[in-house]
Chains A and B, each alone.
Chain A
Amino acid sequence: MKEPRNPFKIRASEHIESDETFVRLFSPGVLEMLNTEDLWDKPKIIRSAPGAGKTTLLRLFTARSMLTIYSLRKMEYCAELFQNLKAFGVVNDNGPAVLGVLLSCSRNYATLEDLDVDPGKRRRLLLSLLNARIVLAALQGILTLKGLKYPLDLEQIEVCPSQDLSSLHGLVLPCSGTMLYQWAQSLEKAVCDALDSFAPLTDSSLPGHDSLVAAQLITADSIKHEGSSVVDRVLLMFDDLHRLTQEQRRFLLDDVVNARLPVSMWIAERLEALDVDEILAAGALPGRDYTDEITIEEYWRRTRPKAFSQLVMNIADRRAKDARDVEIGSFAGCLPDSLDGRDWQDRFQNAGQRVAERTREKAKGKQRYSRWVADREGLSDHTPREIALSWRSLEILIEREERKVQKSIDFPMKLEELQKRDDSDVRAAAELFLCKEFDIPYYFGIDRLANLSSSNIEQFLALAGEMFEQSASAYLLKRSSDIAPGLQEQILKRAVKKSWEKLPEWIPQGHDVQKFIKSIGRFSNWATHQPNAPYSPGVTGVAISMSDRRKLADAKVTQKIPELARLASVIRTCIAHNLLKVTLDYKCKGQNWMILYLNRMFCIHFDLPLQYGGWREKKLTDLVGWLQKDFKPPKAQLELFE
């Protein structure tokens, strides 16, 4: 296959045909999220918005990927991955030790629900089809691991399950791989024929199963080649569970997964499969202690934010190295993250002078600021950037002081007080304000690019892909591949604007969603860019009380109030597609809150900082109102949006 010109444009792992390319592009850092005690014992449910890497993760454990990793284990780009998998016991020095059986739920299972038979029968048919396909996938995987041809060499496989499975119609155990293959094939055909049939279905024509019996047939001990087990463990992986109907999905999760199968099981699904109540609970449903649940974005955001930065850098480097006609060793190296160049220093100098003049004017005749101003006047040995930031933060602090209802006596305030108040949040707000006012880039560098990705790898690839295009173009013209900070910001703003404009097309309820996000964004901008920076470094989200959250999730309430139902549905869609990040039970002001933070990508669209932490409480009526009418700032602030 021809190498891609811009490998960042390859998104879904299904589109990577070659296993070698897949393994080369796979970043071992992703495996961190599997570092749990019960990796193999408890069923694991992996959830995320589209593009977080669920299918990529599952594909890694399939037989072909495993063999590829094993054969490339000495290569530099594969050594770490091999060692990580070895630590999990997935491979060892002799080869793959786990058989990963991957089954996508997108293949016509949902149409079983359309059959005109009773629900019990439909479930039995679902189990039959799953059993057939699990067996076929497992047999194929076993032969792949042994380097044999599928299905020609199935005769070399013996199937002898330890449990008594005599109730299985049409299969006599123990048997050869060929027999099992024929049984599974005829089972699959029978169900598919029933699906395709126009004639009324009779009970005798429907081969129903009561359990996921295939899991008993494909255990590590059951399947043997030349008298011995092929692997130590079998891992059954269901992908795209959200493609099933709600009834099928619920049945599988509640009844089948709960049945404690003799194989390890991982299930991947999009967050959109969850209903309002589930999604607002962010996966932490009670009574699900029999499973491990990982919400990918949540994992990176809450548990390992630094690791996500490292992960995406690694992914970016792997992609950059894979590009045709371009030699870029380190992607991060192409994104300078400082403004130390002469042009910027001049700009900062000019900005510093203007802010200083303005601040002196505000402090004029007020003794209480004299020491603070004097302190800033004495910063001549600092860089122009530091001086400008110091003046801007002082301006914010003076604004805050001036807005106090009860002003302090006009007596010089201590320098220690200035140092105490001039904390990192105020500095961050000062930087944001300064950059916006003097047209200095703010959104640049690999760390901010990683932040803008909102813990979603596909989002990172989309933004980084635009950057890479620029670097590759410069390389083509034999110029430096480095992208100046100003240009980085331009590229990112352009890319985000494109995504913003496409939002109504690619998200369900797109217009409502866009309107809602727009109001949150405009409100956050208004709240952030107050002269006194009251919520420094800025507001990037809104919150409702947990009692309001309960109303949103309560079907009885939403049935009575359609506006609430609409709001609940929009919030659900936003969370499912990672447009809003939810934090539950946040304690503040004696109440518990559900905070909805904007996807960091939108922070660039609304000129907001990238840090989390700044939010404002809102009532449900406010949010409902934003679905009907955009948020409008008070008149005095309107110019911010012009």
Chain B
Amino acid sequence: MRDALAERLLAEVMGWTPEDVARERPSLQAMAAYKYDEYQQFSPGMRFVESLALWLSQFIPGEERRIAYDFVRNRLVFCSSAEMAHLVSMAYPDHIRPLLLKRSAYLAGIPGKNIIRVARSNEFHMLRRQCLFLGLSDGARMDVFRRCNPELSHEQIWQTYEISPERAENMLKELALDLEKILQRKPGSDECHFKMVFLLDDFSGSGFSYLHKDDYTQDFAGKVAKLFKRLRDPESKVSQLITPNDLHIRMVLYMATEKARLHLAELLKDLCGTDIKWSIEVIQPLNSEVCLQESRDAEFLSLANHYYDSSAEDEHTRKGGTDVKKGFAGCALPVVLTHNTPNNSLFLIWANPEFYSVRGLFPRVSRHRGES
């Protein structure tokens, strides 16, 4: 649809006068051009203004549409591709490297303030090479991460946490070769392991899909639990990548809620026990202020409550413990990522009109078919 047609449609839906259009259009157009039009799950030919007009048209004219529009203008959080790439590019230099420097300073017995000395030390070069960076999903953008950090070897960055035995063997072989260059000698068998494993991902709303306990068995489940299982299985080739009593696992999330961080911290403590050190790093934390709250956002939450299709619920969504009016696990997030809207955001934002009776502003493509 041409821009002008979409804008006219939006004006009609909102009952705007020319003065209203003059006031609203420049910023809408600017935001559409700057971010919103790049949303990757719009149907072919669809752009933001058209989607907005169609989304608003499902509400009763007048007050409901005003509330919905105000939500878009004032509360929506859209993380663009460029913004996410920026977070990815910050992850190593601003969050991981300082940690390595601190640890290396301790190992080398150099005061931490002497950063250049630490950065030139063998301890730092060794530790940096003994780090393994694994992506927890496509969103981790490990390709961007790799290109942003040329000081890391390609052989220590892998796009997924599922590693084949052949791949693991090759990683160890390359690690040994690089350590030999750094140490100018054959590395010892205790040195040829990864000592720090960084698990990277783009977004976490609840932390549930990474780690949770099964309702019935109380066993750990989720991506991180799966990885741990392999790392601890002596039969697995992957377990040879590390030594369990000398391992630091660090989750690096480019964007995550406080709720997700607390959830993961609580379960990782149990999962890692005393032998494996762990920590969580969030590059862009989303504090509770970002989430919609009854005290402040009652009007829009009322709309979200009313415009809902319960067929969105299934065995996957029920694991969150609530319906999905406020999104998975009741997170009530107003967040959209450029490649897909997280299911922790309100249903009214991501409902896909192909499957539900409600239309979302940024329709989501679901990982679980069950959602359809």
The answer to whether A and B assemble together is yes
A residues near B (Cβ < 8 Å) are 5-6, 9, 324-325, 466, 469-470, 472-474, 476-479, 487, 491
Name the B residues within 8 Å of A487 (CB-CB): 19
Name the A residues within 8 Å of B8 (CB-CB): 476-478
* Stretch touching chain A among B21-29, B40-48, B201-209, B257-265: B21-29
Q: List 25 A-B contacts (CB under 8 A).
A: A6-B26, A324-B3, A325-B3, A325-B4, A469-B22, A469-B25, A470-B18, A470-B22, A472-B22, A473-B18, A473-B19, A474-B21, A476-B4, A476-B7, A476-B8, A476-B18, A476-B21, A476-B25, A477-B8, A477-B11, A477-B16, A477-B17, A477-B18, A479-B18, A491-B22
Name the A residues within 8 Å of B17 (CB-CB): 477
Closest Cβ of chain A: how far from B233's Cβ, in Å? Answer: 54
Name the B residues within 8 Å of A6 (CB-CB): 26
Name the B residues within 8 Å of A466 (CB-CB): 22
Of all chain B residues, which has the CB nearest A470?
B22
Of all chain A residues, which has the CB nearest B10?
A476
Q: Are A473 and B25 CB-contacts (below 8 A) given A479-B18, A487-B19? A: yes
B residues near A (Cβ < 8 Å) are 2-4, 7-8, 11, 16-22, 25-26, 29
Closest Cβ of chain B: how far from A129's Cβ, in Å? Answer: 33
Closest Cβ of chain A: how far from B24's Cβ, in Å? Answer: 9
Q: Point out the residue from B16, B19, B29 that lies within 8 Å of A5, measured CB to CB.
A: B29
Interface SS majority for chain B: helix
Closest Cβ of chain B: how far from A325's Cβ, in Å? Answer: 4
The 6 A-B pairs with the shortest beta carbon distances in the complex, nearest first, are A473-B21, A474-B18, A325-B4, A473-B22, A470-B22, A473-B18
Name the A residues within 8 Å of B29 (CB-CB): 5
Closest Cβ of chain A: how far from B52's Cβ, in Å? Answer: 15
Alpha-carbon distance between A181 and B281 when the two chains are bound, in angstroms? 53
Closest Cβ of chain A: how far from B132's Cβ, in Å? Answer: 37
Alpha-carbon distance between A470 and B16 when the two chains are bound, in angstroms? 12
Closest Cβ of chain A: how far from B157's Cβ, in Å? Answer: 33
Name the A residues within 8 Å of B16 (CB-CB): 477
Alpha-carbon distance between A466 and B21 when the two chains are bound, in angstroms? 12
Closest Cβ of chain A: how far from B6's Cβ, in Å? Answer: 10
Name the B residues within 8 Å of A491 (CB-CB): 22
Of all chain B residues, which has the CB nearest A469?
B22
Of all chain B residues, which has the CB nearest A466?
B22
Alpha-carbon distance between A478 and B19 when the two chains are bound, in angstroms? 13
Alpha-carbon distance between A5 and B29 when the two chains are bound, in angstroms? 9
Q: Point out the residue from B2, B21, B26 that lies within 8 Å of A477, measured CB to CB.
A: B21
Alpha-carbon distance between A476 and B29 when the two chains are bound, in angstroms? 14
Closest Cβ of chain A: how far from B229's Cβ, in Å? Answer: 53
Alpha-carbon distance between A469 and B22 when the two chains are bound, in angstroms? 5
Of all chain A residues, which has the CB nearest B8?
A476
Alpha-carbon distance between A4 and B58 when the two chains are bound, in angstroms? 31
Q: Are A470 and B11 in contact (CB under 8 A)?
A: no
Closest Cβ of chain B: how far from A326's Cβ, in Å? Answer: 8
> Chain B CB within 10 Å — which of A324, A474, A476, A491 has the most?
A476
Closest Cβ of chain B: how far from A85's Cβ, in Å? Answer: 35
Name the A residues within 8 Å of B20 (CB-CB): 473
Of all chain A residues, which has the CB nearest B29?
A5
Of all chain A residues, which has the CB nearest B12?
A477
Alpha-carbon distance between A6 and B26 when the two chains are bound, in angstroms? 9
Name the B residues within 8 Å of A325 (CB-CB): 2-4
Alpha-carbon distance between A64 and B8 when the two chains are bound, in angstroms? 39
Alpha-carbon distance between A466 and B7 when the two chains are bound, in angstroms? 18
Of all chain B residues, which has the CB nearest A6?
B26
Alpha-carbon distance between A179 and B22 when the two chains are bound, in angstroms? 57
